[in-house]
Amino acid sequence: MFPMNRRRKNEYGRQMEAMFSKLKPMLDLDFGDDDDVEDDLSLAGCCLEYFDDLLYGAPEELVDDVRRFRFENVLIYQNGEFHATCRDGGNVYPVLARAFPFSPPAACGCPVSQGEAACVHAVKFVEYLTQELSEIDSPLRRRVNTEDFVSGTPKMETIEIDPVQQMFHDLDAELEQTAESDVVSLVDHDTVTRRLAKSQSRLAWRVEFGQYGIEVYPVGQQPKKRGSGYTKGRRIKLATALRDQDLMRTSQDRRVIGCIEYQESYYSYRDEMVLNVFPAIRALIGAPNVYIDKDQVVVRRDDFEFEVVQINDHYHVIVLLTSDDELSRQYLREQSIEALRRREEDGEIDRTVALLTNGEDTLIRVSLTQRLVSIFDFDPSDERLIMTLLKFPGVPVEQGGELFKRLKRIQTRLTIRLPESSLGPIVDVSSKPVVLMRSNSDGSLDMVLRVRDAAGRILIPGASPAIATGEQDGQPVQFRRNISQEIDQAERLATALRFDATEPDDALAMERYAAHITDFGEILNLIDRLQSWTTSEGSQSGFDHTFDGLPAPEVLWDRNSEKPVSVLGSISTGNVKVEINRKRDWFGISGQCDVGGKQLDLNDLLQNLSSEDPGNLHGDFIKLKDGQWARIGEKLRRRLSRLRDATHADRKTMKLDATAAPAIRDFLGEGEIEFKAVKAWNQCLERLARSESLDPELPKGLDANLRDYQVEGYRWLSRLAEWGVGGVLADDMGLGKTLQTLAVLLDRKDEGPTLVIAPTSVAFNWVREAERFTPGLSVHLYRETDRTEFLKTVGAGDLVVCSYGLALRDSEALAGVEWGSLVLDEAQAIKNSRSKTSKAIGTIPAKWTIALTGTPVENHLGELWSLFHVVSPGVFGGWEQFRKRFAMPIEKENNEAARAGLAERLKPFVLRRKKSEVLKDLPPRTDMNLYVDLSKGEREEYERVRLEAIGEVDQIESLTKTQDQRFRILALLTRLRQISCHAKLVNASYEGEAAKLVQLRETLSNLKEEGHRALIFSQFTEHLALIRNELDESGFTYEYLDGSTPAKARQDRVDAFQNGNADAFLISLKAGGTGLNLTAADYVIHMDPWWNPAVEDQATDRAHRIGQDKPVMVYRIIARGTIEEEILALHETKRDLVAGVMEGTAAAAKLNNDELIAMLRKSY
């Protein structure tokens, strides 16, 4: 157990023996049996006390262990060690405990302790020793006191265990337990763990005083056998009060126990427990379990009121207590005067009162007759004055003038009532309650109670001096505050303000009535209640009846406050005024809100509702100006938030357009808000009402059968057009957005010509579907016309299909036409607001604009703003406002309120349906990642490029321009992505094997044998060229399409594939990922992952769409251990982005440079 040789063991034994043998002469006691174990200073008593302390320090789980053990063969050595054997079932372990400080203090030979660590056997042995030593007649106690010790030193080897035997024992025990568990019935666990019965004994406290002062000690009380209540109880040790599990303790008892201190013992080298009386009495204030002898007493805070009285030919000072009511004060006055008379007459000293001072700022007074324990706190500078008055010897009457001259000066510090014959009669005056508050730099609030006396001074409730001299009607008087009333009101006020529900604060420990509040919403609620109380006193309207019967307090702010906080009142629909005026192409909205006698501009109110600064809102309160707040109901706040999101700040003006009509209507409610508007705005509301009630029929001449959800889409588009606002049809790819739009365009043909802007690959599809489904429209492919002359001839019923490239080139000419409708297909093409294309299209006027895209957001919310900036600018307003209001809070802070606000704002203007929701008959789509390991040659090439890229990172990070950094980083990442596809894309001289091509060849062979056909996508045309070579060599037939394929040839190749002329279709991801209908394929193979899965999904939906009658299988070929795995990890985050915008869920932000660099470093 111990690394100790024999010589050191012998030396150790001699030292311990010497130490233990010194106890007897130090104690100088008779070691016979003792009658009073409480004051046991015998040798056994010292051992008992040490083991008591040792047990207290033991691990709780070991002390609380309910198992019982037999301890036999107890040996007591001269050095203070107790040895025994512990029988635990079929096992016997040696145990020891030491009655002196040495490590370990107790140990066992079991596998847990191994002679060093604490274990249940060692702890229970110490417990056994304490029980035996505490019994007066126990043999063990008698052996200790009679020095019946074993000679020599203990054999430490007995504690050590044989590791081999222990291993056998552990295995046997485990096997035996396992064998038993094999046949144990499940019924063994059909009961809940047994509750231990609660003990009825309780902890109480007794106060005594004698020649050594005032003492407080614990007692254990038992319930009376008859009737209610408890027995007088018996004194117990502090250690027992601390540890006895059978004693009921209150939280107040625990605070008293916390006042136990350890002091050096006069009789022993060990520290002993003592109770610090002053904090203990303070902790017992108001406790119901405090006694003097068997009488229950009251423990309270108090203050002195001294009164000078004349008894015979001397002036004396009697001591009254300010917390007493008038009846109790009169009784105490009479008793005190009678006691002084007896002292003058026969020298009898009153021994029913005891005092104890700490010599600084606290005094304890115990009164047997009053059954009262009082604690007094005072200024240390007053301690000498107080003690002088408490020991007042009596002054002859003839020296009264000198006495009063001095006492009158003391009246400014202490409450002293002088004879009316000297300083005038007592005049009772009332004081007013005061709530004093201090706001702190951390946003918390300190709140304390004060009173304002008749002279206007701010005082602590019940504090001295309660009497002050002055004049009334030219005559001297002594003004006296009603201290007991002050204290009663302060306690009731503290209860009403729920001071007891706040956490204690050390900085306010000396305050009698105080609260420290950290929750700012709670602070505002409390201030609002106080201000409502002070302004509604005498009126039951809106009055908080928690304060019934209490006078309204004065509310003051500490001059050291950071910023005083005030609640001006409540904002309701009744005190809001709104006006809408015409502002050129926009409308302007203005308004005011009257609250607390102050007028607040509506614009300021809306800005403070913004999620940009969450500190502007706390619970039901909104910040108005510095330190000023107002209460606002949840319903009105939601309406104001919708109004804020629908308006756009432009300098000091709030702008809005027709898109704000629902928010304005919702805000105005049922006419409870005072509202004025110009005629044009009322016309907007009328259009909104008409659109909502519109139930349009499919137009005549539509040669198609629409599905139910497509009919709903047509109606939604028609209502938007009737309302006169733009929107986004964001259905999943393959749900027929083109057909739904053609239906509404046919219905609107009399409104003027229609311009459809779409990618080149989609333009032919528009022409084909328009000719097929809406023969009533005159369809023109813009690129095939004499563009300059053609635009002069377009009119109602014309549908012009134009590519984005031509729209940019001819934007000025296109802007010269009054278009009835403008359609932006695959509108993600204008997701960059700074691009020339986006800016150019934004200049083309139209009565109504609609965007079609399955991915309104791919990377970040700026794309959404860019889209609406062209389609319906009034939805979001300017970019900076959108960025502050929505983009930053959502993408950077994950702000739930901003996310919900954005989703709410989008609801009227975006329609999105998923295929899984509306196409129940669409065959399923299955996705699978096919991982390949790079060949040895490819891996070497990849590692070379990767290490070169990492070597450039430090240089890139030193670039000052963020855009330059981003360009360089993306270039490095692109190289890694290319080499993951095929090493030849980076190193033209590479002639080795390509793992992805091998996998593709095997996959296509299997698919061809089984009669399947596939679409093969890659974002790199160079990669497609290598794939073409592979397919040529392997004998596969294919069609091919990339950005260089002529527009007419595209449709021809699509038709050829659809007609079954090829095994596969090789397509560039960007050029052919949208607008194509390729349902003849039932397999889709992505050769390289793109950053955003939405782009891949668009490509996949060329096959998985209406018209597909076979399940679609999607393969992604991923090079293991490359940057492609990092890109794949991003996909789930990116998929959440569209859901976040459309459904209010979490959305991803655009990767910043640091994140891209981290990805580069982690690229395996």
Same domain? For 378 and 515 the reply is no
pLDDT score for 519: 82
Residue 535 confidence (pLDDT):
61
Q: Residue 885 gets which letter from DSSP?
A: I
Judge whether residue 617 has pLDDT over 80.
Answer: no
Statement to judge: residues 574 and 613 lie in one domain: yes
Q: Label residue 534 by pLDDT band (50, 70, 90).
A: low
* Strand pairing class (432-439; 576-583): unpaired
Confidence band for 1147, pLDDT divided at 50, 70 and 90: very low
Residue 743: in which H helix or E strand, if any?
A: helix 737-747
For residues 12-26, give the mean pLDDT.
42
Q: Flag whether 192 is in a domain.
A: no
pLDDT score recorded for residue 1153: 67
Q: Is 104 among the domain residues?
A: yes
pLDDT band at 168 (very low <50, low <70, confident <90, very high): low
Task: Tell me: do 641 and 731 sit in the same domain.
Answer: no
Query: Does the pLDDT at position 192 exceed 70?
Result: no
pLDDT tops 60 at residue 1126: yes
Q: Would the pLDDT of 685 be above 50? A: yes
3-state secondary structure 376-428: EECCHHHHHHHHHHHCCCCEEHHHHHHHHHHHHHHCCCCEEECCHHHHCCEEE
- State the average pLDDT over residues 383-398: 88
User: Which CATH number do you get for residue 1152?
Assistant: 3.40.50.300
Instruction: Say if residue 957 is in the same domain as residue 1087.
Output: yes
Residue 375: predicted pLDDT: 93
pLDDT category of residue 964 using cuts at 50, 70 and 90: low
Residues 373, 240, single domain; the answer is no
In a domain, 184, yes or no: no
Please state the rounded mean pLDDT for residues 849-863.
87
If asked whether residues 904 and 839 sit together in one domain, one would say yes
- Please compute the mean of the pLDDT values over residues 560-578 and round it to a whole number: 80
User: Between 348 and 763, whose confidence is greater?
Assistant: 763
Question: Which pLDDT belongs to residue 640?
Answer: 81
Tens of pLDDT, residues 777-834 = 999 999 989 888 899 999 999 999 999 999 999 999 999 999 999 999 989 889 888 8
> In the structure, what pLDDT confidence band is assigned to residue 664 with cuts at 50, 70 and 90?
confident
What is the tens place of the pLDDT at every residue in 478-509? Answer: 888 888 788 888 888 888 888 888 877 778 87
- What does the radius of gyration of the chain's CA atoms come to, in whole angstroms? 46
pLDDT band per the 50, 70, 90 thresholds, residue 540: very low
Contact 169, 177 (CB under 8 A): no
Q: How many CB atoms lie within 10 A of CB 1059?
A: 9
Same domain, 345 and 465: no
Dump the DSSP string for 1008-1022: HHTT--EEEEES-HH
pLDDT in tens, 1070-1120: 777 666 788 899 999 999 988 777 778 888 888 888 788 888 899 999 998
Q: Closest Cα to residue 1149, out of 845, 857, 835?
A: 857
Among 177-181, 573-577, 750-754, the minimum mean pLDDT is found in 177-181
Q: How big is the CA angle at 958 (ends 957 and 962), to the nearest 5 degrees?
A: 65
Q: What distance in Å separates the CA atoms of residue 761 and residue 1073, rounded to the nearest whole number?
A: 9
Higher-scoring residue by pLDDT: 841, 55: 841
Residue 2: band (very low, low, confident or very high) from pLDDT cuts 50, 70, 90:
very low
Q: Is the pLDDT of residue 757 over 90?
A: yes
- How many residues does this entry show for the chain? 1164
pLDDT at 866 exceeding the cut of 80: yes
* 144 part of a folded domain: yes
Q: What is the pLDDT of residue 159?
A: 62
The whole domain housing 936 covers: 925-1161
Say what the pLDDT of residue 300 is.
92
Residues 538 and 416 placed together within one structural domain of the fold: no
Q: Is 176 domain-assigned? A: no
Q: Do 792 and 892 share a domain, yes or no?
A: yes
Cα dihedral 1016, 1019, 1022, 1025 in deg (nearest 10): 10
Lowest mean pLDDT among 39-48, 544-553, 1132-1141: 1132-1141
Q: Which of 422, 451, 472 is the last residue of a domain?
A: 422
Q: Tell whether the model's pLDDT for residue 251 goes beyond 90.
A: no
Other residues' Cβ atoms within 10 Å of the Cβ of residue 1058: 18
Structural domain total, the chain = 7
Mean pLDDT over 598-612 rounds to 75
The overall average pLDDT reported for the chain is 81
Q: So what's the pLDDT on residue 678? A: 85
Q: Is residue 182 part of a domain?
A: no
Task: Say if residue 180's pLDDT is above 80.
Answer: no
User: Which of 548, 564, 580 is the last residue in one of the domains?
Assistant: 564
**Pair 320, 292 in one domain:** no
CATH number of the structural domain spanning residue 772: 3.40.50.10810
The mean pLDDT value for 346-350 works out to 73
From CA 487, how far away is CA 431, in angstroms rounded?
11
Confidence of residue 1027 (pLDDT cuts 50, 70, 90): very high
DSSP state, 310?
Answer: E
Q: Which of 663, 689, 715 is the last residue of a domain?
A: 689
Confidence of residue 26 (pLDDT cuts 50, 70, 90): very low
**26 bridge partner residues:** none
Stronger pLDDT, 403 or 265, i.e. the higher one: 403
Q: Which of 522, 530, 525, 516 is nearest to 445 (CA)?
A: 516
DSSP characters for 575-634? GEEEEEEEETTEEEEEEEEEETTEEEEHHHHHHHT-TT-GGGEETTEEEEETTEEEEE-H
516 and 578 inside one domain: no
The residue among 509 and 959 whose pLDDT is bigger is 509
Count Cβ atoms below 10 Å from residue 748 Cβ, excluding itself. Answer: 20
Measure Cα distances from 1095 to 504, 535, 1030, 1135, 1136 in Å.
Answer: 59, 64, 26, 11, 14
Structure confidence at residue 441 (pLDDT): 81
Tell me, what's the pLDDT at 612? 57
Q: Which residues contact 411 (CB under 8 A, 6 or more apart)?
A: 418, 465, 467, 468, 469
The per-residue pLDDT for range 891-914, each reduced to its tens digit, is 888 888 888 888 888 888 999 988
Selected residue with higher pLDDT from 75 and 596: 75
Share of the chain above pLDDT 70, in %: 85
- 672 lies in the same domain as 587: yes
- In a domain, residue 582? The reply is yes
Instruction: Output the pLDDT for position 1151.
Output: 58
User: Higher model confidence: residue 180 or residue 271?
Assistant: 271
Residue 1035: inside a domain: yes
pLDDT of residue 440: 85
